[in-house]
């Protein structure tokens, strides 16, 4: 399993990074990114902690832990400048909390995220074809979410991404141990979003390539 969007108790998750990592190991994970919720007030301290966790846990056993951040409910105009600051700090993985149907995320967040230096637009809700095409151009992944509420637009996200050739991945957005899933369950979510077998295989190949690249940074 490759899961590039989860939360620890450094935001609103239930577990320390070490326990989340161990729980993921038992589920058969090979790559686990912890991407806690951040804004301008906490991205530096959260990244420092997650980087320390990754340095201590990455000793050769799976899963490879990737420290990341999820910019959450930022005014869209702030996304690009804070993403640039995070990159300068060495953050390998930047996720943006997209325009989920489940929350009042500011309109324009999807667009601003795709125009910024980020890696994954999470749960992008009713993303437009133009936005998905720009994501493709910029190499930004669009997320199919295993999380209740955020998953409501998975079918739309999958169809729109396929129409323009944007890369997809399945993330759990885990906040607790019961949210982690197996590779088989992730395949079910991708198929449930309407992807055919070959598109499902492409999704996992693309996600693996992204995870490997991020793990090297
Ligand atoms: Zn989110
Ligand atoms: Zn999240």
- Which string of DSSP letters, residue by residue, matches 81-92? HHHHHHHHTT--
179 Cα to the center of ligand 2, angstroms? 12
* CA 209 to ligand 1 centroid distance, Å: 22
* Ligand nearest the Cα atom of residue 175: 2
Give CA 207 to chain center in angstroms. Answer: 10
Q: Where are the alpha helices (DSSP H) in 95-153?
A: 109-115, 129-138
Residue 46 to residue 66: CA distance in whole angstroms: 13
Question: How many Cβ atoms are within 10 Å of 42's Cβ, its own excluded?
Answer: 15
Centre of ligand 1 to C-alpha 52, Å, is 23
CA of 70 to the centre of ligand 1 (A): 7
Contact status, residue 70 vs residue 103, Cβ threshold 8 Å: no
Per-residue pLDDT of the chain (217 residues; tens, 9 = 90+): 999 999 999 999 999 999 999 999 999 999 999 999 999 999 999 999 999 999 999 999 999 999 999 999 999 999 999 999 999 999 999 999 999 999 999 999 999 999 999 999 999 999 999 999 999 999 999 999 999 999 999 999 999 999 999 999 999 999 999 999 999 999 999 999 999 999 999 999 999 999 999 999 8
Give distance in angstroms: CA of 54 to centre of ligand 2.
Answer: 19
What is the sign, positive or negative, of the torsion defined by CA atoms of 14, 20, 23, 24?
positive
Nearest ligand to the C-alpha atom of residue 173 = 2
Distance 51 CA to ligand 2 centre (A): 18
Check whether the bond before 63 is cis (ω within 30° of 0): yes
């Amino acid at each position: 399993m490759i899961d590039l969007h989860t939360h620890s108790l450094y935001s609103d998750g239930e577990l320390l990074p070490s326990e989340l990592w161990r729980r993921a190991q038992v589920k058969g994970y090979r790559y686990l990114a912890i991407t806690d919720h951040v804004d301008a007030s906490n991205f530096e301290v959260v990244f420092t902690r997650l980087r320390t966790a990754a340095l201590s846990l990455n000793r050769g056993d799976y899963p490879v832990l990737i420290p990341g951040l999820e910019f959450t409910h930022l005014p869209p105009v702030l996304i690009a400048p804070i993403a640039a600051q995070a990159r300068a700090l060495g953050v390998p993985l930047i996720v943006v909390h997209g325009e989920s149907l489940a929350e009042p995320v500011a309109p324009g967040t999807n667009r601003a995220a795709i125009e910024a230096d980020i890696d994954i637009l999470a749960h992008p809700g009713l993303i437009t074809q133009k936005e998905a095409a720009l994501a493709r151009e910029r190499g930004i992944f669009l997320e199919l979410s295993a999380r209740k509420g955020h998953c409501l637009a998975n079918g739309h996200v999958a169809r729109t991404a396929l129409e323009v050739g944007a890369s997809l991945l399945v993330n759990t957005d885990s906040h607790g141990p019961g949210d982690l899933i197996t590779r088989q369950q992730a395949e079910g979510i991708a198929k449930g979003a309407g992807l055919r077998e070959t598109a499902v295989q492409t999704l996992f190949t693309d996600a693996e390539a992204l995870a490997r690249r991020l793990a090297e940074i």
